[in-house]
Structure formats: C-alpha cells, structure tokens
Amino acid sequence: MLHIPGRDYYLFTGRAGTSMTWPGIETGWELSANVIWPLDRSWVITTEIDWDFTLVTATREVANAILEDRRLEAFEVDYRDDLSWFGDTINPLPAWLERQRSDGGPG
C-alpha cells in the first residue's frame, strides 16, 4: 500500500485488461484504477476519484485517435485549464453542487 496525505493506494501489477479486478478487495461499489501506467511508460491514464474526469497522456497518434472517436467526450487540456466541476463547459453541474451554488457557495 502507498500512503499519501488524504489517500491510500493499493499497488498492483498485471496483464493488460485486468484493471477492474482487485484480488482480496470487496466493496459495495465498482472500483476502477486511479492510475494505469505500463512498464515502458509510453502512456499513462489517471482518473480523479473526487471529480468526473480521466486524463490520458500519450503519443500524438494515440491522442488524435481518442480526440477523433465520437463515442468519447474528449478534448485537449492545458495545465492552466480548470478541471473542477465549474470548469466543465459541456456537462451540467451535479444537483448537489448547483444547490450549493444557488445558496451562495462556490462558483
């Protein structure tokens, strides 16, 4: 287990396609990997557990294939982009956050 402030991570190694199987971990919800990174380090996929996005870093060829696939909601990001719920210009805010904003909260 890897512990960083506010998070504990289980570390696994395995073959491609096994990122949804977690030996010895039983939960009441589906789990997905937060980080998938092959040994050759040619790409990386990171999923933010508290928000609603996944970041992919890859070659230009792979990035273009993702961006061109109409089944995916994908766009290029810059380090200055707002990746919070409020920075999402496509999807509506979740109801709980919309209520918080209308009550004078963030946003």
Per-residue pLDDT, 17: 61
Residue 38 CA to residue 22 CA, distance in Å, equals 17
Contacts of 98 (CB under 8 A, 6+ apart): 92
Residue by residue, pLDDT tens for the chain (107 residues) are 888 888 888 777 777 665 555 666 666 656 677 888 888 888 898 887 777 788 999 999 999 999 999 999 899 999 999 888 888 888 888 888 888 877 766 65
Q: What is the pLDDT of residue 4?
A: 83
pTM over the 0.75 mark: no
User: Which residue type, as a one-letter code, is found at position 79?
Assistant: Y
